Amino acid sequence: MRAYTAGDTDVPLLEETIGANFERVAAQFPLHDALIEAAPVPGADARRWSYTKLNDDVDRLARALLALGVAKGERVGIWSPNCAEWTLLQYATAKAGAILVNVNPAYRSHELEFVVKQNGMRMLVTAPSDKNSDYVGMARQALAVCPDLRELVFLPDHGLDGLEAGAPQRDAELTYAELLNRADGVAHSVLRARMAELSPHDPINLQYTSGTTGFPKGATLTHHNILNNGFAIGELLGYTEHDRVVIPVPFYHCFGMVIGNLNALSHGAATIIPGRGFSPAAALEAVQDFGGTSLYGVPTMFIAELALPDFSSYDLSTLRTGVMAGSLCPVEVMNRVISDMHMVDVAICYGMTETSPVSTMTRKGDTLRQRTQTVGRTMPQLESRIVDPATGEELERGQIGELCTRGYAVMAGYWNQPDKTAEAIDADGWMHTGDLARMDDDGYVVVEGRIKDMVVRGGENIYPREIEEFLYTHPAIQDVQVIGVPDSRYGEELMACIILKPGAEPLDAAALAEFCRGKLAHYKIPRYVEVRESFPMTVSGKIRKVEMREQAVARLGL
């Protein structure tokens, strides 16, 4: 049987812009909660928006952008951890037809300036500086060296214990409040006229890939791409206007912005921001305090939540579903998420920024095996197939090859990089993911890892995922990542990087080998073991195995 599936086509795609969709939903549920931001400092009140209030505030911000002369298609950047203003700008740029550029909050000057110059950004909205990042100082530096950048807008700090929030020093700088005041000079009819000019197929969002193997590339996404993807995810999760979605994952990434905001707000549900960054306690408090029905995270976030000493004290009884993405979830963790966190309908989503992002997903009622060993089935209105990475020929089910995706969710291309676009999207419209995968008889996709993460030891192809899944069964191991390191005899050898459970006895290579003996083929037993406190991760929660390999090579002197 061919390693090919097509998703359901029963539900037609939405043919509307993000702004038009939001106004339609807001008219249906005007008084329902749309956005809640938990108190940024203890003792303060949460900030709340009904759908009507959120729509009014989005319109005001959109008119302010028009007052500054922001044209359709111009790039407006947002460089900030999660906050309510992030959501407001997401929808305001969509109504104004400006292309929102998501800038990774972890970027430093060199990376920021690269992104600003690469897309010709005209405005940058930036977070207040805090103890970790001098956002204001780095933004001013970018303003000085990036010729297209015309305005800096400083977001308020809302009582955060940070550095100076950023007082304007030049004509090109405004506070967020000053920006909003500009709206008074633009009539609502001007915004309506701008919205009438927009097409669902206009580019509306630029998201930069993590750039672990070079400079990041800007995936160009349209209203059609991300609105439909967000809406489809919500349909499969069974979202209604009664859901309350807790989003501790970053907005700068598709997980927060599409699987989070666009998904929930296209269904009349409430979005809840637990804090600027991830805190396991804050995430569970948000569920408890605001009656969260759905919780998001990468598996390491759920592991951290379950590991809280006072985990059992949180009332999580309102939860029913949620989304895990970024990597597959260990069986033991999934069992606890379902039983202890009440997330019986939790789904696994798989995809990439370039596919808006979700291309496969598990469904309500899927088995534990399907939710822990696969990344689900092809999404509605999309196609999936597995091909030989060398020849491009379609494989049979059960064979391992490169996973490819085709359909509405595939990006318009990499911004101003037609050569890179052609490398990723073939002549038939298939997006090549770079992931090794196989498809089972039921059409479920099993991801074996990145093509570049596959370890070749003495001619044997080894997929780290299989070994990691086995090592999770060790009673002392809380988290594990398996990488390949250079070896003069075999070409590569395996290293297991391990985070131990609290109070666990030390674990070395000999002890781990003894645990594996008779259960794993000899060539799959890690030669090296490194016990770590944490793993290097992207802001979106993906493990940076490239960085781990570099660190291991340096430590071992290989």
Peptide bond into 357 cis (omega under 30): yes
Q: Are 209 and 118 in contact (CB under 8 A)?
A: no
| The dihedral formed by the CA atoms of 290, 261, 8 and 209, expressed in degrees to the nearest 10 | -130
- Judge contact between 233 and 265, C-beta under 8 A: no
The answer to whether residue 214 scores a pLDDT higher than 90 is: no
- Nearest alpha-carbon partner for 261 in 223, 287, 231: 231
**Phi, psi angles (nearest 5°) of residue 303:** -60, -45
**pLDDT tens sequence across 401-425:** 999 999 999 999 999 999 999 999 9
Q: Which amino acid is at 483?
A: I
CATH 3.30.300.30: does it fit domain 454-556? yes
Contact 430, 385 (CB under 8 A): yes
- Which residue spans within 230-351 are E strands per DSSP? 244-246, 270-273, 294-297, 321-324, 347-351
pLDDT tens, residue by residue, 100-124: 999 999 888 998 999 999 999 999 9
Main-chain dihedrals φ then ψ at residue 195, nearest 5 degrees? -60, -35
For CATH 3.30.300.30, list the domain ranges present in the chain: 454-556
308 — phi, psi (to 5°)?
-60, 135
Taking each helix axis from N to C terminus, what angle separates 18-28 and 51-67, rounded to the nearest 10 degrees? 150
Check whether 376 has a pLDDT greater than 80.
yes
Yes or no: say if 368 and 234 are a contact pair by the CB < 8 Å rule: no
Instruction: Look at residue 166 and tell me whether its pLDDT is greater than 70.
Output: no
**In the prediction, which pLDDT does 450 show?**
80
pLDDT band at 169 (very low <50, low <70, confident <90, very high): low
Phi/psi at 158 (nearest 5 deg)?
50, 40
Alpha-carbon distances of 554 from 548, 549, 550, rounded to whole Å:
10, 9, 6
Percent of the chain at pLDDT exceeding 90: 82
Beta-carbon count within 10 A of 307 CB: 13
pLDDT at position 22 over 50: yes
Q: Which of 547 and 225 is assigned the larger pLDDT?
A: 225
Q: Taking all residues of the chain, what is their mean pLDDT, rounded to a whole number?
A: 93
Q: Give the integer Cα–Cα distance in Å for 491 and 472.
A: 26
Q: Are 265 and 295 in contact (CB under 8 A)?
A: no
Query: Which stretch of 101-105, 252-256, 488-492 has the lowest confidence by average pLDDT?
Result: 488-492
Given this model, what pLDDT does residue 162 score? Answer: 47
Confidence of residue 490 (pLDDT cuts 50, 70, 90): confident
157-171, 196-210, 327-341: range with lowest mean pLDDT? 157-171
Give the H or E element holding residue 19.
helix 18-28
Determine the pLDDT at residue 164: 47
C-beta separation of 380 from 232 below 8 A: yes
CATH fold for domain 48-199: Rossmann fold (3.40.50)
Cβ-proximal residues to 475 (8 Å cutoff; 6+ apart), any chain: 501, 504
Residues of the chain with CATH 3.40.50.980: 48-199
Could you report the per-residue pLDDT of 504-522, keeping only the tens digit for each?
999 999 999 999 998 888 8
The predicted-structure confidence for 176-208, as pLDDT tens digits, reads as follows 999 999 999 999 999 999 999 999 999 999 999
pTM of the predicted structure, to 2 decimals: 0.87
Distance CA 298, CA 337 (A): 12
State pLDDT tens for residues 270-323. Answer: 999 999 999 999 999 999 999 999 999 988 899 999 999 999 999 999 999 999
Whether the CB-CB separation of 541 and 297 falls below 8 Å is answered with yes
Residues 6+ apart with CB under 8 A from 313: none
Phi/psi for 63 (5° steps) reads -65, -35
What count of residues does the chain have? 558
- DSSP conformational letter for 279: -
